[in-house]
Amino acid sequence: MSDPLDTVFAALADPTRRSILTMLLEDDMAVTDVAEPFDMSLAAISKHLMILTRAGLIAQEKRGRVKWCKLQPDAMRSASVWMQGFGQFEPVNLDAFERFLETELGRPTADPSSE
């Protein structure tokens, strides 16, 4: 995946990785603390963390002997901007639109249930 947006969405597609991001909203965490609530090996958690790191969603750094994870919220910006593009239109209320047409045209519109 060469497109950064594809990489971010692929990382967000997994519920474990989304849970990890939610945990990191609170504060930086050691890798072992990230792994604690999950019923999987430390190696499996490390793979999830690597995917999040490659997507730019988290950063990992060593502090002494402990590896820490930190949320990188700016990495979600491009995904957020892309998704907001779909929110620019209000949902259409078809019943209200039908009433509007009746008022404007001065005649009832066809009743789909009578067809």
Instruction: Express each pLDDT in 87-97 by its tens digit.
Output: 765 566 667 76
**CA torsion, ordered 13, 58, 74, 24, to nearest 10 deg:** 90
Mean pLDDT of 105-109: 62
> Which of left, alpha, beta for 56 (phi over 0: left; psi -120 to 50: alpha)?
left
Question: Coil, strand, or helix at residue 37?
Answer: coil
Residue matched to tokens 């490390």: 46
Residue matched to tokens 């789909």: 112
Instruction: Give the chain's length.
Output: 115
Q: In this structure, are residues 70 and 61 in contact, taking their beta carbons and an 8 Å threshold?
A: yes
Instruction: Express each pLDDT in 71-85 by its tens digit.
Output: 998 888 888 888 877
pTM > 0.75: no
Helix (H) or strand (E) holding 5: helix 4-12
Please state, in angstroms and rounded to a whole number, the distance separating the CA atoms of residues 10 and 2.
12
